[in-house]
A and B are shown apart, each in its own frame.
Chain A
Amino acid sequence: MKNFDPITLEIYRALYTSVAEEMGIALRRTAFSPNIKERRDYSCAVFDSAGRVIAQGDHMPVHLGSMPMAVAAALKAVEIRSGDVVILNDPFAGGTHLPDVTLVMPVVSSQLSVVSSRKAGWNRALPPVKQLTTNNGPRTLFYVANRAHHADIGGATPGSMGLATDVYGEGVRIPPIRLVQNGELDTDLMQLILANVRGNDERRGDFQAQIGSLQTGATRLLEIVERRGALEASIYAEHLIAYSARLMRHAINSIPDGTYQAEDALDDDGIHPEPVPIRVRITIKGEQALIDFSGSAPQVDGAINAVEAITVSAVAYVFRCLLGDDVPASAGLMEPIEVIAPSGTIVNANHPASVAGGNVETSQRTVDVVFKALAQALPLRIPAASQGTMNNLTMGGIDARTGSEFSYYETVAGGMGARPGLDGSSAVHTHMTNSLNTPVEALEYAYPLRVREYRIRRGSGGKGKHCGGDGVVREIETLVPARMSLLSDRRKRGPYGLSGGAAGMTGNAKIIHEGRARRIGSKGSWQLEAGDRIRIESPGGGGHGKPD
């Protein structure tokens, strides 16, 4: 097991990664909701037969770090057989928040003969298919999974990103169950799900696109096995994991040994006005890192609780940034890293906490606090804080043009923190997300909304030797009565600067009714009349270094 061939290793890295990328392309091109097809709010990954991730497409960091738990939960709860697809979104059983729905499918050796016989006759010169197994029965070789953010999953507010106080108020909770069994879609189950969500035609199409994407991935993996043999494919999956672990150990080793602490806070939970602190203590010892969140706030009433998968995901993201190279995104990355997130806290909430914002807001603050601690160890590498929120905006109602329900979800970019030696970028998504915007012209075709302004919020980046990037102004008018929800943060304290750089400007939001603007809080739901506008000004990034 120790010996591997550096060349073959590189070949497998490329092969598995291209499978994940191809799954992403298939999903995007066939999806129906703007959130998936335009904003690419999805991720795809490949897992080995033990459910360990071996490759991911470069999609959404918050998904990628947490998907392994989804596959683990699916494997634990369901005996997955060939032809099955497991669906889940339960935050307390492999999910993160309800709109992110994950589908998992096994890739089984018995499907292999189907592939090869279908293609027989193409080429007499094909090398013979390598003998697969020593045992007789079909064997699961891989799992493929994708996770997509659905623009509505039911619950009290359109878009399912409102401020419920428990998970039951947030939408349909789906534990790991079979959506497809033996190749047949469970239409009863599908109907049950669709009956509980808004805009169900769109949802149906998106689920179909997710299943199609899994099939694409499975076909490609079977082709690889057919060509190179199952044994080699599985051995090198193992090697890829070990390889990532080696790279991560090397990266941790380059951090000076010691203990580094930091604290930052979310503004509030939307229900009570008090700040919600997150505290971390990082211990670096040789090639090992211990990330301890003890002392962070207990879980809260408002919907910003993060489950453990999200916290692990945030830590994984930070350390992956330190590698500074395109390492294989495999399970090995987390091998030398231990995360302690005490149960019942904001970073590891228990059932039945509401969690809509944990994924999108708390994860960003977790990243901020981990970077802040590491900045003490690596002052020349760590950037100042970025906007630290995703400015989650959802709007829903009845589209007067068609008479049917609509549900619009968008996250708004902001300023990136200044880097040592480099200004931060303006108007970009940072850290745990990288979703695109909905083009104005796509948005107005799809929804009874009109974008009134979309520009860079100049001067919002923190000053410094190098300045933080500027945030964004996005103003949207609704043409019909609509329920609007906002989940955002960094409205009370701006993203921190480093080494003497100033903090970035805080963000804010206003409702403009008959020409009069009224400032609203960072989290909540509001009723809008036709002609009302919501204006979001996102935070700037922190500055780095004292200004000259």
Chain B
Amino acid sequence: MLGGCRVSRRQKAEGRRQKAGGRRQKAEGRSSGRGSSELRLLWTTANALKIVTAAPADCRLLFAKGMKKLRKRRLPNRESVVRVGVDTGGTFTDFVCEIKGRLQIFKLASTPADPAQAIIAGLRRIGEITATEPANLEVVHGTTVGTNALLQRRGARTALITTKGFEDVLAIGRQARPELYNLNAIKPPPLVADQLRFGVPERVSSAGEVLEVLKETDVNRLLQKVKRARVESLAISLLFSFANPAHEQQLARALASLDIPLSISHEILPEYREYERTSTVAINAYLQPLMGTYLRRLAAPAQDAHAAVNKQRPKTKDQKPLFLRVMQSSGGSISASAAAEEPVRTILSGPAGGIVGALRAALAAGFPNIVTFDMGGTSTDVALCDGGALRMTNEANVAGLPVAVSVMDIHTVGAGGGSIARVDEGGSLRVGPESAGADPGPACYGRSLLPTVTDAHLVLGHFADGGLLGGEFKLDQARAREALKRLASDMTKAARREVSITRAAQGVLSVVNTNMERALRRISVERGYDPRGFALLPFGGAGGLHAVDLARALRIPTIVAPSAGGALSAIGVLAADVVKDQSRTVMLEVSPGLAAKLEKTFSEMENSTRTALRAEGFKEGNQRHQRSLAARYKGQSFELEIKQTIGDIAAAFHRAHQARYGYAQQGNIVEIVAARLRSTGVVKKLKQSRLPHFDGKSQAKPFTHIEVFFAGKKVRAGVYNRDELRAGAKLQAPCVVTEYSATTLIPEGVTVRVDFYGNLIIDLQQP
């Protein structure tokens, strides 16, 4: 609460400054006195600051007039900009920026009804502190606006245009039902309603030849129908448009007169399988208006707000919009205008930032092979990075709808701290997917008697101070015990022997760990990776509570518990490079002339992105172009990606097939389906802040000792405060490491040290 008071004083001060006018504020911002007083509020990563405040309620009003069309803009000079990473989460909006080589972090309470409010408030604060004009702020944003709109079906009124006879492609889908044995299963309704799906007479063959010409009269008729339908956006997806886009282009030209956002299938996803492609394009159209408005609003400069209050203030060149980029689901950032055009690429923007942040922390610590484990209240995201690289998929499914653009291969399970435990009719202990959420929340939140994972931890003494958020959020021990007592009695009945409360609590953790383990297996073992060659990187509120148990189950030898785990996503979006992905369907069999053909395709693609990246301020030396091929045995439907693009491509493919599926078919023809290019504009690397050194041979001192249950046994464990740990320190297991937004449990039998960056390196191998 102390932090809250301090902040409210700050708000008042801000209010006064606003009235005083922009010019003066700028002058103040530059004065060293004020700058240093503000910087005291911004701590470094190792001692992450905890400012929790609500954004001013009148933000909306202040910023409403600041909206401008988004436009692509060349940054004058990459060196003078202040880069800011912003990640919107369910509870907090995290901000990270690099000021004078130091990484600064703070959190504001999120404003879920209008996520922009919190962001605008935070950006304004950064602008003031660093005395930077909005035009020199470069903001990279990890957003959940698209995902949430899709999950809650709050997108635009969208029309879809298809080949006549195939208007129901979205409604039929793949004709399968979602759950095999559930008589009451409901198929998610299509994003575009029946009466808004229009067919046009036209047809292109699989070879791209026009079988039926699209007539102008039909185009005009369609135009009238669409006009009458009063839609906010339009998706166009004709059969085989990737083989010959002429008809889609013809429609796009005609429909441009409506002046509403268009999503065209051969531009967004030029690949076969009409349902997956159409779904992707429809999602894009569904999100376009919303995302456009949201991003335009964010891109309007913070100073416009002041201008709106102070109407006398003349319009000057400082009213340039800030430079806004958005994290895309595949791990790089794209410009705000690109994100507004193709919002489907940002569908996993939020979790993607976390994975980039996790990978960055891991690489700094010397671990290029990691499995990330981001466990929150209701769900857990896991992903795998191999050799410092992110893994992609184009078979993702979001809110029951296929998304076939390339996204990070993230697996989400409906299990988290709030997952509810129960004994089912057959006597098995089940945990989740039902969650107590934030309201009523776990039993220990004081409003329910639902036994959850968090209650189990509390009963077992895992929260050293008996609360969350550094003890600010008190938990109700008695309620947690009562909830687990009931569970224990159900378990006693099922097992026909006495089950104690601690045994029940331990059981809840074991079962939830099994669910997590299954998720981790899915992204590792099931994709042909042996977890023993990887480090586990836990983050999110509950990651550290389960990390050691999971690492043991999967035989992962090392855990890297990152410092600033609570702001990893914001750091990730800031650290993310600018990425442009391209893919061209080539359909070539491996043959002697192949290399030359591929070379031509690749160099065409490279030339176009080289120019685009240069326009965004990336010199040749800061560009990377990574080629790869999507290949398969002729006749298969699923490709494997291979990095080798010259030489014996077939042999490389046989090896990849052998590694992934356990066999290769040497006699079969290898077919190259697509040439892919990932072009990267490398952003200036963030400095990793280092901790003050500590005598490496000594043990760190726990600030207290408590009694906790680890694996069913009561033990005396030291409690360490993460913020006080120094590089090189060793911790005595068993112990509990607490920090503001997370707790790490360290049972016996492991060694723990703190590295130079404040990460806990937990070694599970016995010395």
Q: Which chain A residues have a beta carbon within 8 Å of chain B's beta carbons?
A: 2-7, 9-11, 13-15, 18, 21-22, 25-26, 28-32, 34, 37-38, 58, 61, 119, 122-126, 201-202, 205, 208, 211-212, 215-216, 219-220, 223, 227, 243-244, 246-247, 250, 317, 320-321, 323-325, 327, 381-383, 412-413, 416, 419, 422, 425-430, 434-437, 439-442, 444-445, 450, 452-456, 472, 475
Residues of B within 8 Å of A11, CB to CB, are 510-511, 514
B510: nearest chain-A partner, CB-CB? A7
Nearest chain B CB to A108 CB, angstrom units = 17
B91 on interface, CB distance cutoff 8 Å: no
Report the Cα distance A6→B424, complex, angstroms. 10
Task: Tell me the minimal C-beta distance from B634 to chain A in angstroms.
Answer: 9
A205–B633 touching, CB < 8 Å: yes
Interface size class of B (residues with CB under 8 A): 35 or more
**Contact of B532 with A205 in the complex, beta carbons under 8 Å:** no
Chain B: minimal CB distance from A339 (Å): 18
Complex contacts, A320 vs chain B, CB 8 Å: 181
7 additional A-B pairs beyond A126-B555, A321-B182, A434-B177, beta carbons within 8 Å, are: A6-B507, A32-B635, A208-B663, A246-B427, A427-B171, A429-B177, A439-B174
Shortest Cβ gap from B665 to chain A (Å): 6
Q: Are B274 and A440 in contact (CB under 8 A)?
A: yes
Identify which of residues 523-565 in chain B touch chain A, using a CB-to-CB cut-off of 8 Å: 525-526, 530, 532-533, 555, 557
The residue among B165, B182, B491, B532 with the most chain A CB atoms within 10 A of its own CB is B165
Judge if B580 is at the interface, Cβ distance under 8 Å.
no
Contact pattern, B 501-533, Cβ under 8 Å of A = 1, otherwise 0: 000000100110011011001100110001011
Picked from A29, A119, A428, the residue with its CB within 8 Å of the CB of B175 is A428
Task: Tell me which residues across on chain A come within 8 A of B206, comparing CB atoms.
Answer: 441, 444-445
- Assess the A440–B166 pair: CB atoms within 8 A: yes
Do residues A243 and B427 form an inter-chain contact, with CB atoms below 8 A?
yes
Instruction: Known A14-B518, A427-B168, A455-B165; judge A212-B176 contact (CB<8 A).
Output: no
B492-500, B618-626, B732-740 - the one binding chain A: B492-500
Total A-B contacts with CB atoms under 8 angstroms apart: 209
State whether B171 touches A22 (Cβ < 8 A): no
- Residue contact B495 to A5, C-beta cutoff 8 Å: yes
Out of A2, A18, A419, A455, which one reaches B526, CB within 8 Å?
A18
The 3 closest A-B pairs by CB, nearest first: A413-B175, A453-B165, A32-B635
Residues of B within 8 A of A (CB): 165-169, 171-177, 180-187, 205-206, 239-240, 272-276, 423-430, 491, 494-497, 507, 510-511, 514-515, 517-518, 521-522, 525-526, 530, 532-533, 555, 557, 633, 635-638, 657, 661-663, 665, 668, 764-766
Tell me if B515 and A14 are in contact (CB < 8 A). Answer: yes
In the complex, how many angstroms separate the beta carbon of B394 from the nearest chain A beta carbon?
13
Asked if B187 and A26 sit within 8 Å, CB to CB, the answer is: no
Given known pairs A28-B638, A250-B425, the reply for A442 and B766 (CB within 8 Å) is no
Minimum C-beta distance from A18 to chain B (A): 6
A124 adjacent to B515 (CB under 8 Å): no
B172 pairs with A220, CB closer than 8 A: no
Decide: A439 and B272 in contact? CB cutoff 8 A. Answer: yes
- CA distance in complex: A317, B181 (Å): 8
- Also in contact, A13 and B186, with CB within 8 A (given A34-B637, A445-B206): no
23 pairs from A and B in contact (CB 8 Å cutoff): A5-B495, A6-B495, A10-B429, A25-B526, A29-B637, A37-B636, A37-B637, A37-B638, A38-B637, A61-B180, A122-B532, A123-B555, A243-B428, A320-B181, A327-B426, A413-B172, A427-B168, A427-B175, A437-B172, A439-B274, A440-B274, A450-B205, A454-B172
**Structural contact, A426 and B532, CB atoms closer than 8 A:** no
What is the interface of chain B mostly: helix, strand, loop, or mixed? loop
Among the listed B168, B177, B272, B423, which residue makes an inter-chain contact with A425, where contact means beta carbons less than 8 Å apart? B177
Q: Which residues of A contact B181 (CB under 8 A)?
A: 61, 317, 320-321, 323
Q: Are B661 and A7 in contact (CB under 8 A)?
A: no
Q: How many angstroms from the CA of A436 to the CA of B178 in the assembled complex? A: 11
Chain B residues with CB under 8 A of A22: 525-526
The residue from B168, B205, B239, B510 contacting A455, defined by CB atoms under 8 A apart: B168
Q: Are B428 and A6 in contact (CB under 8 A)?
A: yes
CB of A33, distance to nearest CB on chain B (Å): 8
* Residues in chain A near residue B515, CB distance under 8 A: 14
A18 touches B522 (CB 8 A): yes
- Tell me the complex Cα distance, A456–B166, Å: 9
Specify the chain A residue showing the minimal Cβ separation from B197.
A455
Complex CA gap A429/B240 in Å reads: 26
For A215, what are the chain B residues with a Cβ–Cβ distance below 8 Å? Answer: 662-663
Q: Which residue of B lies closest to A247 (CB)?
A: B426
Q: Which chain A positions have C-beta within 8 A of B497? A: 3
* A6-B494, A422-B184 known; A436 vs B175 contact (CB < 8 Å): yes
Q: Is the CB of A430 within 8 A of B177?
A: yes
Contact of B273 among A434, A439, A456 (CB under 8 A): A439
Taking the closest CB of chain B, its distance from the CB of A244, in whole angstroms, is: 7
Asked if residues B165 and A2 are in contact (CB atoms below 8 Å), the reply is no
Q: With a CB–CB cut-off of 8 A, which chain A residues contact B517?
A: 14
Determine how close the nearest CB of chain A comes to the CB of B62; give it in whole angstroms: 47
Please tell me if the beta carbons of A429 and B175 are within 8 angstroms of each other in the complex. yes
Closest B residue, CB atoms, query A427: B172
Give the complex CA separation of A2 and B497 in angstroms.
11
Say which residue of B240, B496, B521, B765 sits within 8 Å of A3 (CB atoms). Answer: B496
- Interface contact B495-A454, CB-CB below 8 Å: no
Find out whether the CB atom of A442 lies under 8 angstroms from the CB atom of B186.
no
A441 partner residues in chain B, CB cutoff 8 A: 206, 239-240, 272-274
User: Smallest CB–CB gap between A460 and chain B, Å?
Assistant: 13
Most chain A CB neighbours (cut-off 10 Å) among B169, B172, B423:
B172
Least CB distance, A450 to chain B, in whole angstroms: 8
Residue of A nearest to B175 (CB): A413
A427 to chain B, nearest CB (A): 4
